[in-house]
Structure 1
Amino acid sequence: MNNLRTCISLCVLIIGLSVTSCKEAKGKSDEVKEESTAAIIVPENLKWSERMLTSEIERFPDATKLDFVDKPRWSYTNGLVLSAAIKVYEETKKQKYYDYIYAYADDLIDSTGTIKTYSLEDQNLDMIKSGDVLLYLYEKTKEERFLKAMQTLSSQMDSQPRTSDGGFWHKKRYPYQMWLDGLYMAEPFHAQYTKIFEKDEAEVKKVYDDIVHQFDLIQKHSLDDKTGLLYHGWDESKEQKWANKKTGTSPHFWSRAMGWYGMAMVDVLDFLPESHPGRERIIRYLNQFADAVTKYQHKTGLWYQVLDQGDREGNYLEASGSAMFTYTFAKGAHNGYLPEKYLEIAEKAYAGILDNLISIEESGIVNLNQVCGVAGLGGDPYRDGSYEYYVNEIIRPNDPKGTGPFILASIELNR
């Protein structure tokens, strides 16, 4: 009898444990399922522009650190991505995007209008780009500190050192040098600020003339007549080791430098009056640019890091330049600056980005791969502008100099 009772007790215990285990297993299964659902950060039913912006916010919750930096800073990369974010916000009206944009300016502009980490003394054209964000926010908020910060940036354009024929130096520490980058960093802000705030007609004309003059000088000094491409930099003094001793130009055609220049043209045309005689010249430069760049488009739709040397060892299909060309061609065609065929070229390029350079994590986070992290000329350590230099600079995913233009291209193509 005792044995029988023991056996029954054991059976009851085993059954009880089994039921408990099943309940626990079911509970754990439900928890895993819930965790899996909660782990989707970026829904795939959003447009690519919003998917990439949401991914950027997840990677860089603090917009002041958008370029893989540890401390907040005022820089062009923030302005680039946030300018794209403005377009996404205007399309979606989702408050989280506006809050992200506003927080950048709120953190870096103090109550007196002083821009933290910015130095007027540096005379660095790159620092003008984030002024685009202030132009937008001031219209929305009318906060006096944003206006004062913009006035500081505008004053930099007044004091920026120049070449003998009036071209802005890229930075004070790069004397007598014009870079293609500088046209994008400064001129759209320069034009928009003037359009909004300058009331004296003579002064307005003077500024617009000066803006067009910068493009004229780039065409004069950096254009290669044989290929139609433009060199990354030009040194009037011809003293830089990277400078051609006859022409002053750097040795190669870097895709992103060309991309900056293309975006500069289509963006500055947003603010240059229809009646200004320089407008048609910029449109002509844009058409020359588009014709030359298209000749070097890879069969995938993408472009190489060093544009004209795709068959050379070490070269690679680069994301930021490809995204910039996509945006430039799409916007140029949509606005009537370029023939309709360039919209098809832009669509082909965009498909090439999606097929070859985009990867998606299980959470839905979108990654843009094969972005050149940085490239410049001169400095310390010295950057000689050689082919080997450009193809050996760091390549990394999700560099904002690629993700920003990807968002812009996505908006422009409504993808």
Structure 2
Amino acid sequence: MKKNIKRNKLLYLLQGLLLILIGNNLQAQEIPKKLKWSERMAATVMLQHKESFMIDHATSPKWDYVHGLVLTSMEELNKKHPNPKYTEYIKSYVDKLIQNDGTIDSYKFDSYNIDMVVAGRLLFDIYAKTKEEKYLKALQTLRKQIEEQPRTPSGGFWHKKIYPNQMWLDGLYMGEPFYTQYTMTFENGKSLDDIAKQFELIQKNDRDPKTGLLYHGWDESKQMPWANKTTGTSPNFWSRSLGWYAMALVDVLDYMPKNHPKHKELVNYLNQLATALTPFQDVSGLWYQVTDKGAVGGNYLEASGTAMFAYAFAKGANKGYLPKKYKKIAQRAFDGMTKQLIKIGANGEVIITQACAVAGLGGNPYRDGSFEYYVNEKKKDNDPKATGPFILAALELNR
């Protein structure tokens, strides 16, 4: 009897091991290498984050810019490679957060955090298809935030209520594509001049005349310890912030009518930025964390900024905003990522390495914008600020 029990236990153990091996083998086949990079990356996101609210390892649903970025990239993927899994994954995030009365869970209106606007881009398509009032109300709430967003004396949006009189490059991506799409969809384009003004202020006040690069932030009051006492600019060029700005330009241009006088102006800004960035592209095709400092003092070739530049350059060239040579520059950047910054996991997942997890200015603990600060911030594999732009770049490059 005891022998039978032992034999049965051993049998169950072997069966369990066999099931694990079979399961692992099936999982390994879930992301085939024959798929395009955009589809492989999206499959990786869905494999690593079973529910869309779990992106960036969130443990509970929250309205956040990283979800907006990654799911917007999947929305673009779904347009070119339709898949009901993408549609469901995107909509499940929105439906976790948007309540029946249109309120957005976890969103705090009176924080005036411009980062919180970008996820609203997901609502346009869902509202257009469903015509459900709750999505429209959520869109209107985010538009109301823009209307009431505190501004610098010259009219630029504060990055957050807690950062008075400061414009960060990040904020142009967080606010302006949504703002442009909203004003074109619901307001007959009445706010296009105001949108262009946000870029004009950055170009006028935040651009380094020597390199043509833009600093991470600008404090119009010149009160912040990190701010240059003459210009108000922060001390260094951070590639991801420049990437946010580049993506903001190409995405706003999707909605800015070609016959609008500000369209040409924004195209010129994109060309100026592309011209300034190109000399700092490494021979590998990648860009450094601190854009202009090269391989010194712990500086490293960084994934998210590179992916953002690849996307903006490729899209700019595809749309005719940039000369065709920038498509080749984008290809080099993408090749650099796939050769040097990407590992393939046991389940076929795409793992992007060397991505800066987060960086900012001021706050508590205080961030001084120094070279040492940027190069010592932590890195994270498959950070959403890298995975989303990687999908977008792969789509533009048809890779």
Q: Does TM, scored on the shorter chain, surpass 0.5?
A: yes
- Give aligned pairs, total: 387
**Are 1:238 and 2:238 an aligned pair?**
no
Q: CA RMSD for the aligned pairs?
A: 1.7
Q: Which residue of 2 aligns with 1:333?
A: 317
> Does 2:59 match 1:70?
yes
1:300 is aligned to 284
- Give the corresponding residue for 1:129: 118
* Matched position secondary structure for 2:230: coil
2:246 aligns with 262
Where in structure 2 are the equivalents of 1:9-408 lying within 5 Å? 34-40=22-28, 41-199=30-188, 204-205=189-190, 207-408=191-392
The more displaced of 32-41 and 371-380 is: 32-41
Question: 1:31 Cα deviation (Å)?
Answer: 6.2
Q: Aligned partner of 1:224: which letter?
A: D
**Per the alignment, do residues 37 and 144 of structure 1 end up closer, same or farther by CA in structure 2, a change over 3 Å counting?**
same
Runs of 4+ in 1 over 3 A off after TM superposition: 26-37
Name the SS of the counterpart of 2:167 in structure 1: strand
SS at match of 1:178: strand
Distance, in Å, in 2 between the alignment partners of 1:47 and 1:410 is 8
**Letter of the aligned partner of 1:92 in structure 2?**
H
**Is the deviation greater in 145-154 or in 358-367?**
358-367
For structure 2, which runs of at least 5 residues remain unmatched after alignment?
1-10
What code does the residue aligned with 1:155 have? K
Q: What secondary structure is seen at the aligned counterpart in 1 of 2:144? A: helix
What is the Cα deviation at residue 376 of structure 1? Answer: 0.2
Going from structure 1 to structure 2, the CA distance change for 1:35 and 1:194 (only over 3 Å counts) comes to same
Shift of the alpha carbon at 1:311?
A: 3.0
Give the Cα–Cα distance (whole angstroms) in 1 for the partners of residues 38 and 247 of structure 2. Answer: 17
| 1:17 paired residue number | none
Look up the SS of the partner of 2:208 in the other structure.
coil
Q: Tell me, in whole angstroms, the C-alpha distance in 2 between the residues paired with 1:170 and 1:33.
A: 50
* Cα distance in 2 between the residues matched to 1:28 and 1:372: 40
Q: Which moved more, 1:87-96 or 1:108-117?
A: 87-96
1:37 maps to amino acid: N
Work out the percentage of aligned pairs sharing the same amino acid: 54
Distance 1:375 1:68 in 2: 18
Q: 1:44-97 deviations in whole A, cap 9, x for unaligned? A: 111110100110111112222312222211011000000001012222221111
> Any stretches of 5+ residues in structure 1 without a counterpart?
1-22
Instruction: State which structure, 1 or 2, has the greater radius of gyration over its C-alpha atoms.
Output: 1
Matched-pair contact (CA < 8 Å) for 1:65–1:73: no
Shift of 1:168: 0.6
* In structure 2, distance between residues paired with 1:71 and 1:389: 30
Aligned 8 A contact 1:42 1:363 in 2: yes
Q: Taking structure 1 as the reference length, what is the TM-score of the superposition?
A: 0.90
> Deviations for 1:204-259, whole angstroms, at most 9, x for unmatched residues?
33x00000010000001100000000000000111111101111000000000000
Alignment partner of 1:372: what SS? coil
Could you say if the C-alpha distance between residues 142 and 243 of structure 1 is closer, same or farther in structure 2, counting changes exceeding 3 Å? same
The residue type equivalent to 1:391 in the other structure is V
CA distance in 2: counterparts of 1:105 and 1:36, whole angstroms: 31
Report the residue type matching 1:355 in the other structure.
K
| Matching residue of 1:9 | none
